[in-house]
Amino acid sequence: EVQLVQSGAEVKKPGESLKISCKGSGYSFSSYWVAWVRQMPGKGLEWMGIIYPRDSDTTYSPSFQGHVTISADRSISTAYLQWSSLKASDTAMYYCARLRESFGGVTYYFDSWGQGTLVTVSS
Amino acid sequence: SSELTQDPAVSVALGQTGRITCQGDSLRSYYASWYQQKPGQAPVLVIFGKNNRPSGIPDRFSGSSSGNTASLTITGAQAEDEADYYCNSRDSSGNHYVFGTGTKVTVL
């Protein structure tokens, strides 16, 4: 069974750093792109970026480029999302999700999702 | 980058048919995928590709696409289908992906 298990909820102060994780199991972690998705309180889903664990090739949404860092350690089947200096506006639920591709490069979808990590930033 | 636009809310009577649409330029190049999200839960994939359902998704969910518009249809809506629904597509500009604005489905 494919599973993505995320680290637990975090409460941080503005300016602090944070790294949350997403551990994959039940499949070849290195062979599938893993994306991060933000959901602010009461709002919709926002695609943040994506990483290919085999070679750590990473692409960011322009909205998040420079604000977060996505990384992966394929030896422990884990992807990460990190901030160097949190802001109150980073308060949100963060999901990781596995990307699949099929049907000749016109079909892309996120077939497995982590349970989410709630990040609260407050002074 | 591309945007995907959805109607904010759709109501459907119990047992009847409801349709959610998703519009965006990227849908001329890529199929949409659809996700159901219930309160307090992670999103769940319900439709991908031309009209494919993952294992465990009821066959009352179906998808279609024409031009720059993708649609998710619920035929014979059930109370448990009440949720937020999001479309997603690869962006035409590269290895980027974009979610739709989301549709809240109410089953009356």
User: Rounded mean pLDDT of A78-97?
Assistant: 98
Confidence of residue A102 (pLDDT cuts 50, 70, 90): confident
Interface test with A, best of B95, B98, B104, B105 (most A CBs within 10 A): B95
HSE-up of residue A39 (Cα within 13 Å, Cβ side): 24
CA gap B96, A95 in Å, rounded: 16
Confidence of residue A104 (pLDDT cuts 50, 70, 90): confident
Q: Say how many C-beta atoms besides its own lie within 10 A of residue B70's C-beta.
A: 28
pLDDT at A106: 86
Cβ–Cβ under 8 Å, residues B34 and B63:
yes
* Residue B93 at interface with chain A, using a CB cutoff of 8 Å: no
Residue of A nearest to B86 (CA): A45
CA gap A83, B67 in Å, rounded: 39
Residues of B within 8 A of A94 (CB-CB) are none
The single-letter DSSP state of residue A65 is: B
Q: Quote the minimal CA–CA distance from A16 to chain B in Å.
A: 26
Q: Which amino acid is at A9?
A: A
Q: What tens-digit pLDDT sequence spans chain B (108 residues)?
A: 579 999 999 999 999 999 999 999 999 999 999 999 999 999 999 999 999 999 999 999 999 999 999 999 999 999 999 999 999 999 988 789 999 999 999 999
pLDDT at B83: 98
- SS in 3 state form for chain B? CCCEEECCEEEECCCCEEEEEEECHHHHCCCCEEEEECCCCCCEEEEECCCECCCCCCCCEEEEEECCEEEEEEECCCHHHCEEEEEEEECCCCCCEEEECCEEEEEC
In B8-47, the residues whose Cβ lies within 8 Å of chain A are 29-31, 33, 35, 37, 42-45
The rounded mean pLDDT for chain A is: 97
Residue partners of A94: CB distance under 8 A and separation at least 6? A6, A20, A36, A37, A38, A39, A48, A81, A116, A117, A118, A119
**Percent of chain A whose pLDDT exceeds 90:** 96
